[in-house]
Amino acid sequence: MIKKLIWVEIILLCLTSLQSQEKFRRLPPYPEPIKEWRLPRLESAVLTNGLTIGVISRKNSPFLSLQLMLNFGEGSSPENLPGLATVTARLMSQGTALFSRTDVEDKIESIGGEFEIHVSFDRTLFSLKFLEPFLDEALSLLSQIILQPSFPSTELDAVRRALFYEIVDRRKEADILAEHQLLRWLFKGHPYERGLFNEDSLRLISRRDVQAFYTRYYRPENAVLIIGGDISLGLASRKISHYFNIWKGEKSAQPEHPILSPITERNLGFIDLPRSKEATIAIGNILSNRFASDLFPLLVINQIFGGSPHSRLFMNLRETRQLTYMAFSKIEVFQGGWLFLIKVKLPPAFLSATLKEIDREMNRLVREKIPTAEIEQAKSFLLESFPLDLEPIEVMTRRAAEVLAFKLVDDHWNRWPENILTLEANRIIEVAQKLFSVPMSVVVVGDSRLITNFFEEYDQIKVYDYKGKHLYTMSKGEEK
Amino acid sequence: MKGQIKLPKITCFFIALHLSVALNYFLLAQIEEKVVAEPFPFVYYHLKNGLTVILAEDASLPVVTIAVAYGVGSKQDKVGHAGLAFLMENLMFQGSLNVGPMQHFSYISRVGGRTNARLNEDITVFFETIPSHQLPLVLWLESDRMLGLTISEEHLDRAKTQALDELIQRRFQEPFFDSFLLFDQILYPHFSLFHPIFGYEEDIISLKVEEVRDFFRSYYVPNNAVLCLVGDFNRKRAKELIEKYFESIPKGKELPPEPEIIDSFKGPIFKIYVDPLVPAPAFHLAYRVASLSSDDYPAFKIMEYLLLKGKTSWLQRRLLRREKLVVRLDGGLETRGRLSFLRLFAMANNEIMIDRSLKAIDGEISRLKSTLVPLEELELARNKYKADLRRSLETTADRALFLAEMYFRCLSLEEIARQIERPLKVSPSEIVGLANRFFTDENMAILKVRIR
């Protein structure tokens, strides 16, 4: 009996020890319950001069992020002077009524600051991140830059030169070449086309043009000034008022953002980049933004299609078929419309097979019912990963500035989780079918000696240079 | 004796075993926890197997970062094995007991998280930032590879290919790569310190499975590691999970002895290196300064900001902005082993500018040695240092990495706040004194890089 007991004991002990080692290690664990979480509160007010101000709070942040977002960008540059919006914004920090360029640089460093200027097609952003005790110094400096720029002539040359080298440098990057060529088609005839300016127009920009542009557009009613960090709206209002109340508003200078429309025929383009070992593809079109409520379903669709390494595009092209190095898609929101863009990098030999697979995936998105499980997974991903993007204070503040500038506080920011969570599968499928039934244009960048199969597959391919000049059109079977 | 049950010895043994298991669980609940308030609140404790755990709660966003750092770096690479620590970093993503090759990335990205690894001379750290409710997943993944990494010929070949690709990329990205390696050899006479972190191509290719396994068994053990968890979590629950996944990982053997490193440096050293592939002439310059553990080191931290860091620093202001002698200027303090240097690299348009730059640097160093730094200049340097410090603690990942590094660098975790705040208390007279003591010919090395 005792012997039996001993054996039972030994077996039980072995089993328990084996199981405790193996059972929980063998498979990935379940997540913990999700805690209820809301986006940080975004508060706003409008000063008497028309300047919208906002605060997005984060307790104990050692930095404050001050961001001035203006609702115009390169799309507002005159037709004959593309690049003027960028030159103006950059020149503003190169000297003010009180400070020289080096004074400005010194002042930024003295407050532990980081200063950035970004001009896109429809927005201009001045961003200053600094140590929390220096709010007055930061506002004083930013108000000097925005309200009293001196546009020194000597610095205009330096700004143009720096921009020239940036443009030339960007030409080495295949994905920028591809994206810009695609945008040239999509923005053709639209003011946003000016955002694709090249170095040729820079020398035409004079100090007088800069001053005129500044006077016309830099108005408080075109701007949103937001502070992110450990600060209340009351304090922020008082401080911003103190430094920005002399900014005079004039209702006449409203920038225009005509509606972008999807292009109705598929373009195929190629740019030769000798010695490039890989091929780069940009594919896309404008998606109609007639119904703002389509945006949330669209974000889910993008997640399903190509938003992450677990989306269809990456899983199919890279993981299953091993055709590409990377394959992603994204949605960009402009005031004039939404842009859908796919970017792929791959070995040149797999170009044709990859393009066919992308076409197949696009058809699948429009024609086949998206499984509910896939939709739910995409929604979870969007909801759960969003807070990770908000960790750096300047990123959170910039998101909030965009929401304020687009006047989306109530519908978009405050209802963000609900807007995703309550989306039903039918609504997502309906939006996919509605928006994605447009032909997608394709630009390929690579070494023409390595991309032979591409030229043999398609009827007509337009060949461009780095600046977007159409060189010639290749027809099927034609010798290069 | 009548009325008493006499149990056989073996049964007594099992009863004792059960009791001891129960006692262990009881003791687990009683783990001694130490609280540190600065520079941000955290607690730390040790598991039975020697693993140190640091927990820093921050509920501002539903995000957590876990960093698992091992006290092993390129310093442990032996002659002929340069790049082993780097290869090991790569292998840690090639699969473990219950995780397939590259699945680590896939598990993390599927939940919207990010993962990466870093390696320096002293430590290797793996870190993940994820939505906070996915904490069990990341603990499972990290514990699985600590418990048993898969190291087969196939895995090793894959890791070698990736390591070699990265090595080629680094070389491609920095046109002065070879001159940097040569200057490393000039400053650090010992192989453990001067060989490149990414190793040598021929060494990586020749590494054998058994050598890699030995390296893993020696250094990738709980008693040579720290687990830092920062972000939004419930401390009690996090401790339960950490104990569940890590407590049963066996403690490793005693760590191999640290390599004996000759850490002498004798200047002045002037050398010229000809490299026809570089785009322009350049130079490397370094002064040996007080070692990291010395009380004098914080003053050099401030001198680094005064002289080199940011557009307002003396050298940037003079060489780049005012006299436009150079087109590239970067550098800072660097510590390997017990040797610390203030080193810089500059590229100019021609040889004349190189000579003028060296004279200008000499002029600025002389100014530092002969006059008290004006208080407003000192305040500027302090603010730049403070901003960089705060920046390095901004996100959960920043803080987890900071704690991991400090754990291996500081004598005790309670010391962190004092150590990082000390540069803010450095006085102008301290700077003059130390500049005169350390910025001498005996502590200086220069390597000029010429095109031909």
Average model confidence (pLDDT) for chain B?
A: 90
- Position A6 in a domain: no
**pLDDT of amino acid A290:** 79
Determine the distance in angstroms separating the CA of B280 from the nearest CA of chain A, rounded to an integer: 18
Same domain (yes/no): A289, A390:
yes
- Position A357 in a domain: yes
User: Does A391 sit within 8 Å of B387, measured CB to CB?
Assistant: no
**3-state secondary structure at position A259:** coil
- Position A13 in a domain: no
Surface of A (35-74) touching B: CB under 8 A: 35, 37, 58-60, 62-63
- Assess B162–A contact: CB distance below 8 Å, yes or no: no
**pLDDT of amino acid B167:** 86
Res. A206: pLDDT tops 80: yes
Segments in B314-422 forming alpha helices (H) = 314-315, 351-370, 375-391, 396-409, 416-421
Counted across chains A and B, CB pairs separated by less than 8 A come out at 135
Strand partners for B347: B282, B328
pLDDT tens digits, one per residue of A114-158: 999 999 999 999 999 999 999 999 999 999 999 999 999 999 999
Same domain (yes/no): B292, B356:
yes
Same domain (yes/no): B282, B219:
no
Mutation pick from B19, B391, B399, B420 vs chain A, by most beta carbons of A within 10 Å, is B391
Mean pLDDT lowest among A46-55, A203-212, B7-16, B88-97: B7-16
The confidence band for A416, taking pLDDT boundaries of 50, 70 and 90, is confident
Joined together, the tokens standing for residue A470 give: 């159409």
The confidence band for B29, taking pLDDT boundaries of 50, 70 and 90, is very low
Mutation pick from A2, A102, A104, A110 vs chain B, by most beta carbons of B within 10 Å, is A110
Q: Give the C-alpha separation, B64 to A116, whole Å.
A: 29
Mean pLDDT of all residues in B239-263: 90
User: Does B61 sit within 8 Å of A391, measured CB to CB?
Assistant: yes
Kindly report the number of other CB atoms within 10 A of residue B89's CB atom: 22
Joined together, the tokens standing for residue A324 give: 């590409």
**Looking at A244, A260, A288, which one is the last position of a domain?**
A244
Same domain (yes/no): B200, B299:
no
pLDDT tens digits, one per residue of B119-129: 999 999 999 99
Surface of A (145-174) touching B: CB under 8 A: none
Provide the pairing of β-strand A52-57 with A124-131.
Answer: unpaired
**C-alpha Rg value of chain A to the nearest Å:** 27
Q: Give the C-alpha separation, A153 to A95, whole Å.
A: 10
- Position A14 in a domain: no
Reported ipTM: 0.85
Nearest to A327 by CA among A367, A361, A376, A286: A361
**HSE-up of A294 (CA within 13 Å, CB side)?**
17
B394 neighbourhood in chain A, CB within 8 Å = 62-63, 391-393
The number of folded domains in chain B is 2
Res. B41: pLDDT tops 50: yes
A8 neighbourhood in chain B, CB within 8 Å = none
- Assess A19–B contact: CB distance below 8 Å, yes or no: no
Res. B23: pLDDT tops 80: no
Mean pLDDT of all residues in B30-52: 89
- Position B391 in a domain: yes
Same domain (yes/no): A362, A422:
yes
CA distances to A185, A270, A358, A372, B112 from A344, rounded to whole Å, are 19, 14, 10, 27, 21
Same domain (yes/no): A280, A221:
no
**Looking at B212, B246, B280, which one is the last position of a domain?**
B246
**3-state secondary structure at position A417:** helix
Nearest to B94 by CA among B153, B165, B169: B153
Same domain (yes/no): B221, B277:
no
Mean pLDDT of all residues in A106-111: 94
**pLDDT of amino acid A247:** 93
**pLDDT of amino acid A4:** 62
**Looking at B246, B281, B307, which one is the last position of a domain?**
B246
- Position B264 in a domain: no
The more confidently predicted of residues B128 and B193 is B128
Residues in chain A: 480
- Position B141 in a domain: yes
The confidence band for A13, taking pLDDT boundaries of 50, 70 and 90, is very low
**pLDDT of amino acid A16:** 46
Q: Give the C-alpha separation, B270 to A458, whole Å.
A: 62
- Assess B112–A contact: CB distance below 8 Å, yes or no: yes
**Looking at B181, B211, B246, which one is the last position of a domain?**
B246
Res. B8: pLDDT tops 60: no
The confidence band for A411, taking pLDDT boundaries of 50, 70 and 90, is confident
Res. A193: pLDDT tops 60: yes
Nearest to A214 by CA among A113, A306, A133, A96: A96
Mean pLDDT of all residues in B340-351: 96
Same domain (yes/no): B72, B191:
yes
Segment holding A357, helix H or strand E: helix A351-367
**HSE-up of A266 (CA within 13 Å, CB side)?**
13
Q: Give the C-alpha separation, A305 to A314, whole Å.
A: 9
pLDDT tens digits, one per residue of A423-446: 988 899 999 998 998 999 999 999
Determine the distance in angstroms separating the CA of B212 from the nearest CA of chain A, rounded to an integer: 24
User: Does A35 sit within 8 Å of B111, measured CB to CB?
Assistant: no
**pLDDT of amino acid A292:** 82
Surface of B (223-252) touching A: CB under 8 A: 232, 237, 244-245, 248
**pLDDT of amino acid A457:** 78
- Assess A31–B contact: CB distance below 8 Å, yes or no: yes
Res. A396: pLDDT tops 80: yes
The number of folded domains in chain A is 2
A4 neighbourhood in chain B, CB within 8 Å = none
**Looking at A229, A244, A259, which one is the last position of a domain?**
A244
Which residue in the block uniquely carries the two structure tokens 């077996």? A11
Same domain (yes/no): A139, A190:
yes
Same domain (yes/no): A406, A352:
yes
User: Does A25 sit within 8 Å of B98, measured CB to CB?
Assistant: yes
User: Does A385 sit within 8 Å of B384, measured CB to CB?
Assistant: no
Joined together, the tokens standing for residue B233 give: 């979590």
| Cβ atoms of residues B286 and B255 within 8 Å | no
Segments in A406-465 forming alpha helices (H) = 416-421, 425-435, 452-457
Which residue in the block uniquely carries the two structure tokens 């075109």? A222
**pLDDT of amino acid B28:** 47
pLDDT tens digits, one per residue of B155-189: 899 889 988 988 888 887 888 999 999 999 999 98
What is the distance, to the nearest Å, from the Cα of residue A322 to the centroid of all Cα atoms in its chain? 27
Determine the distance in angstroms separating the CA of A67 from the nearest CA of chain B, rounded to an integer: 18
Q: What's B421's domain CATH number?
A: 3.30.830.10
Closest B-chain CA to A134:
B383
CA distances to A181, A185, A463, B180, B201 from A267, rounded to whole Å, are 11, 8, 11, 48, 45
- Position A11 in a domain: no
Same domain (yes/no): A334, A222:
no
Mean pLDDT lowest among B121-125, B188-192, B212-216: B188-192
Provide the pairing of β-strand B269-274 with B444-450.
Answer: parallel
**pLDDT of amino acid B185:** 94
Nearest to A302 by CA among A362, A369, A372, A388: A362
Same domain (yes/no): B155, B236:
yes
A112 neighbourhood in chain B, CB within 8 Å = 383-384, 386-388, 390
Same domain (yes/no): A380, A419:
yes
Same domain (yes/no): B39, B165:
yes
The partner residue sitting opposite B133, judged by closest CB among A35, A112, A385, is A35
What is the distance, to the nearest Å, from the Cα of residue B184 to the centroid of all Cα atoms in its chain? 17
Q: Give the C-alpha separation, A435 to A294, whole Å.
A: 9
Find all residues with CB under 8 Å of A1, minimum gap 6, and list them.
Answer: none
User: Does A28 sit within 8 Å of B131, measured CB to CB?
Assistant: no
Same domain (yes/no): B312, B195:
no
Provide the pairing of β-strand A63-70 with A223-229.
Answer: antiparallel
Joined together, the tokens standing for residue A295 give: 């945006």
- Position A30 in a domain: no
- Position B362 in a domain: yes
Find all residues with CB under 8 Å of B89, minimum gap 6, and list them.
Answer: B117, B119, B124, B126
Long-range contacts from A449-452, C-beta under 8 angstroms, 24+ separation? A449/A274, A450/A277, A450/A279, A450/A348, A450/A349, A451/A270, A451/A279, A451/A348, A451/A351
Q: List b or e across B59-84, with b for residues whose CB sees 16 or more CB atoms inside 10 angstroms.
A: ebbbbbbbbbbbbbbbbbbeeebbbb
Same domain (yes/no): B81, B140:
yes
- Does the bond joining B268 to the residue before it have cis omega, within 30 degrees of 0? yes
Res. B6: pLDDT tops 60: no
Same domain (yes/no): A60, A185:
yes
Nearest to B220 by CA among B212, B228, B208: B212
**pLDDT of amino acid A226:** 97
Surface of B (369-388) touching A: CB under 8 A: 379-380, 383-384, 386-388
- Position B11 in a domain: no
Q: What's A164's domain CATH number?
A: 3.30.830.10
Segments in A225-350 forming alpha helices (H) = 233-244, 295-305, 312-314
The confidence band for B355, taking pLDDT boundaries of 50, 70 and 90, is very high
Same domain (yes/no): A318, A218:
no
Determine the distance in angstroms separating the CA of B79 from the nearest CA of chain A, rounded to an integer: 35
Same domain (yes/no): B238, B367:
no
Same domain (yes/no): A337, A458:
yes
Mean pLDDT of all residues in A25-42: 89
Same domain (yes/no): A380, A471:
yes
- Does the bond joining B39 to the residue before it have cis omega, within 30 degrees of 0? yes
Q: Give the C-alpha separation, B367 to B406, whole Å.
A: 34
- Assess A465–B contact: CB distance below 8 Å, yes or no: no
- Position B1 in a domain: no
- Position B411 in a domain: yes
User: Does B147 sit within 8 Å of A109, measured CB to CB?
Assistant: no
- Position B60 in a domain: yes
User: Does B8 sit within 8 Å of A6, measured CB to CB?
Assistant: yes
- Judged by phi (left if over 0) then psi (alpha if -120 to 50, else beta), residue A226 lies in beta
Q: Give the C-alpha separation, A382 to A295, whole Å.
A: 13
> Across chain A, which distance is largest between two alpha carbons, in Å?
105
The more confidently predicted of residues A3 and A271 is A271
Range of the domain at A277: 268-475
- Assess A393–B contact: CB distance below 8 Å, yes or no: yes
User: Does A310 sit within 8 Å of B110, measured CB to CB?
Assistant: yes
Res. B337: pLDDT tops 90: no
Closest B-chain CA to A113:
B387
Closest A-chain CA to B17:
A13
**pLDDT of amino acid B26:** 45
Res. A239: pLDDT tops 60: yes
Range of the domain at B64: 32-246
- Assess A274–B contact: CB distance below 8 Å, yes or no: no
DSSP string, B193-218: HHS-TT--HHHHHH--HHHHHHHHHH
DSSP string, A133-181: GGHHHHHHHHHHHHH-B---HHHHHHHHHHHHHHHHHHTT-HHHHHHHH
Surface of B (291-350) touching A: CB under 8 A: 310-312, 321
Res. B442: pLDDT tops 60: yes
| Cβ atoms of residues A70 and A85 within 8 Å | no
Q: Give the C-alpha separation, A71 to B73, whole Å.
A: 50
Average model confidence (pLDDT) for chain A?
A: 90
A392 neighbourhood in chain B, CB within 8 Å = 394-395
Same domain (yes/no): B218, B286:
no
- Position A355 in a domain: yes
Mean pLDDT lowest among A240-249, B28-37, B263-272: B28-37
Determine the distance in angstroms separating the CA of B68 from the nearest CA of chain A, rounded to an integer: 18
Same domain (yes/no): B312, B242:
no
Closest A-chain CA to B103:
A28
**pLDDT of amino acid B169:** 83
Res. B15: pLDDT tops 70: no
DSSP class of residue B31 equals: -
Determine the distance in angstroms separating the CA of B262 from the nearest CA of chain A, rounded to an integer: 39
Same domain (yes/no): A231, A300:
no
CA torsion, ordered B206, B209, B215, B217, to nearest 10 deg: 180
